[in-house]
């Protein structure tokens, strides 16, 4: 079965083709970052309008790129939620209508399930069960993954998502939006010893996170010091170190509690190299195996949607013709 995947939940248009035996055949991503950057955040209406402009030409180009025709698509998957309602509707209407016109089945995919299963796009994917650390702009979750559709959230953030904390701190340092990757880059020039950020919620039991305090801590330091280039780098470095240390402590706890031997890192913040290194060191210490998708499949993409769609279509699931999207859709409500 050859499945076309469409991702439009936020500010990236992603398109991919996944075949059940051959794996990923083609994918392309278009990022709207430049459109939203002047506003310091994603403007939902602009996101929807841009998906409308980009999606169909990208679908056509991606199909052509692997010398296929539309008639060789056996199913269409699109992101059904969670995400921005208008942006989701663009992909859902397009995907569902395309499937209708081609007379093939369609399936609406949970965006976070896409992130969770993105490591299956790589060689040597993990076996079930595994523990996943899902870290993106909207989510910070520890998830026990027992099989396709069998997810339980065992840790969550009480306030900001970790990517959101990266972005807000980056904004404070004048790094633009979204500034997670820029902050990580700046951190490399920082002195880790100059400032010490707290490790939120690590002094009490449990697997939940809280990141809004780190952002406030960064704001306070910024007020008390002249923001030279070096000071900015030092703040970035100490902030990132606190995030990584906190994640490592919580992952260690979750691995011990669940007895899991495999850890998957998913979501946009999974692109952070310091986080990867910290968790790699933990994995070696605990003698467990660490998995993460390649950098471009950590952030939003169509490949993960095509992959999940293919699994669910093969299992016989189908979307009916009445198109619906779920802007809010808790992962554990998914079957
Ligand atoms: O998964 P994603 O593309 O979109 C959501 O579903 O949220 O994640 C985007 C988030 C943004 O907050 C961005 O700043 C962050 O991932 N991010 C990073 C890095 N690359 C992207 N955060 C820290 N370090 C990075 N290298
Ligand atoms: Zn995402």
Compute the distance between CA of residue 275 and CA of residue 134 in angstroms, rounded to an integer. Answer: 12
138 CA closest ligand 1 atom index: 7
**Ion ligand 2: protein residues whose beta carbon lies under 5 Å:** 136, 300
Q: Which CATH architecture has domain 128-292?
A: 2-Layer Sandwich (3.30)
Going by alpha carbons, the residue nearest to atom 10 of ligand 1 is 137
Residue showing tokens 């994995």: 283
Q: Which CATH superfamily is domain 2-116+297-333 in?
A: ATPase, nucleotide binding domain (3.30.420.40)
- Using the mean position of ligand 1's atoms as its centre, give its distance from the Cα of residue 300 in Å: 9
- Using the mean position of ligand 1's atoms as its centre, give its distance from the Cα of residue 267 in Å: 7
Compute the distance between CA of residue 275 and CA of residue 254 in angstroms, rounded to an integer. Answer: 16
Going by alpha carbons, the residue nearest to atom 2 of ligand 1 is 268
- Using the mean position of ligand 1's atoms as its centre, give its distance from the Cα of residue 305 in Å: 18
Q: Going residue by residue through the chain (335 aa), what tens digit of pLDDT does each one get?
A: 999 999 999 999 999 999 999 999 999 999 999 999 999 999 999 999 999 999 999 999 999 999 999 999 999 999 999 999 999 999 999 999 999 999 999 999 999 999 999 999 999 999 999 999 999 998 999 999 999 999 999 999 999 999 999 999 999 999 988 899 999 999 999 999 999 999 999 998 999 999 999 999 999 999 999 999 999 999 999 999 999 999 999 999 999 999 999 999 999 999 999 999 999 999 999 999 999 999 999 999 999 999 999 999 999 999 999 999 999 999 988 97
Question: Sheet of 140-147: strands edge to edge?
Answer: 150-156, 140-147, 130-135, 262-266, 289-291
Single out the residue of 133, 67, 103, 113 nearest to residue 280, CA to CA. 133
In the chain, CATH 3.30.420.40 covers 2-116+297-333, 128-292
- Using the mean position of ligand 1's atoms as its centre, give its distance from the Cα of residue 136 in Å: 5
pTM: 0.95
């Amino acid at each position: 079965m050859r499945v076309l995947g469409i991702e439009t939940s936020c500010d990236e248009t992603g398109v991919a083709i996944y075949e059940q035996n051959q794996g990923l055949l083609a994918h392309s991503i278009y990022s709207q970052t430049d459109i939203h950057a002047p506003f310091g955040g994603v403007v939902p209406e602009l996101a929807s309008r841009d998906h409308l402009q980009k999606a169909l030409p990208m679908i056509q180009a991606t199909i052509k790129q692997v010398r296929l025709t539309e008639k060789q698509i056996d199913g269409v998957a699109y992101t059904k939620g969670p995400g921005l309602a208008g942006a989701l509707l663009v992909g859902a209407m397009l995907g569902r209508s395309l499937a209708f016109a081609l007379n093939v089945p369609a399936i609406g995919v949970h965006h976070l399930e896409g992130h969770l299963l993105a490591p299956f796009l790589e060689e040597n994917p993990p076996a079930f069960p595994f523990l996943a650390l899902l870290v993106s702009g909207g989510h910070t979750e520890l998830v026990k993954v027992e099989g396709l559709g069998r997810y339980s959230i065992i840790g969550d953030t009480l306030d900001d998502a970790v990517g959101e904390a990266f972005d807000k701190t980056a904004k404070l340092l004048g790094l633009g939006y979204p500034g997670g990757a820029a902050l990580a880059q700046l951190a490399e020039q920082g002195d880790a010893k100059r400032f010490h950020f707290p490790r939120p919620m690590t002094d009490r039991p449990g697997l939940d996170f809280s990141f809004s305090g780190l952002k406030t801590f960064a704001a306070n330091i910024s007020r008390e010091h002249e923001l030279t280039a070096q000071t900015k780098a030092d703040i970035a470095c100490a902030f990132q170190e606190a995030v990584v240390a906190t994640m490592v402590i919580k992952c260690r706890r979750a691995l011990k509690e669940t007895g899991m031997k495999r850890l998957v890192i998913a979501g946009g913040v999974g692109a952070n190299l310091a986080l990867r290194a910290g968790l790699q060191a933990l994995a070696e210490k605990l003698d467990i195996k660490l998995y993460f998708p390649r950098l471009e499949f950590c952030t939003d993409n169509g490949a993960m949607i095509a992959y999940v769609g293919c699994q669910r279509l093969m299992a016989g699931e189908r979307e009916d013709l009445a198109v619906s999207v779920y802007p809010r859709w808790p992962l554990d409500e998914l079957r």
